Structures are given as structure tokens and as C-alpha cells.
Amino acid sequence: MGERQDDCIFCKIAANEFGTEFVVETEHVVAFSDISPQAPVHVQVIPRRHIESIREMNQDDSALLGEMIAVANQVAVEKGIAETGFRLVTNAGADSGQEVMHLHVHVLGGSKLGPIA
């Protein structure tokens, strides 16, 4: 945990290898638009450091998790969905639907979202 994974697409995005436009960028976290949006606003918030999923986090990572939530809130403000409401989702492992094995939080909003099934 923690070292960049050369085969991880999110590690490459965080290192700005593709010139991805960041919605928000801090020293430890970046946020960028999802390429297959599931809502009018769909942004990924990821740590620059490789962490497979939230399962890998521990007490030492509390500041990083707090920063990720703060960035998610900033994304909501910048995208104009903070007042109307938004959803934060993270998946852990294949059975949850996690497709990229790098911790990420989805920020979803911009319309009324359906129930979580």
C-alpha cells in the first residue's frame, strides 16, 4: 500500500500522465470527472498515493480520508450541487462493483438520484 502502481490507471491520472483536467487538486488528493458518468455531475476523488480500497485504510489514514471528504465537498460547491444535494459512494472489492483497484469516492449529483439498491 502506498507506492505507485505502474499498471494502475488512477495512479497515472494522479501523476497527470494523461493531462487530465482536475476539478480540485491538493497535495494529497485529486478530483476529476468520470468518463462514464452515472449522473449529470459525476466526479472521482482519489488519493495520489496508491491505496487499493477503503479496506486498506487505518487510523494513520484519518487525515487523508478527511481531506478526501473536504475535496468532495469542494467539488459539490464548484459543480453547483452542494445546496440541492449530492451522494458520496465508495466501493471496496469486486463484489461491491469496484472496477479500478485504487481508492476512489464518487461524487454524484445534479438531479434527483434514485434509491440505492
Catalytic residues: 104
Asked if 89 contacts 105 with a C-beta cutoff of 8 angstroms, the reply is yes
Strand order from edge to edge, sheet including 86-89? 22-25, 29-33, 41-47, 105-109, 86-89
Query: Parallel, antiparallel, or unpaired for β 86-89 and 105-109?
Result: antiparallel
Asked if 63 contacts 71 with a C-beta cutoff of 8 angstroms, the reply is no
Within 10 Å of residue 8's Cβ, how many Cβ atoms?
A: 16
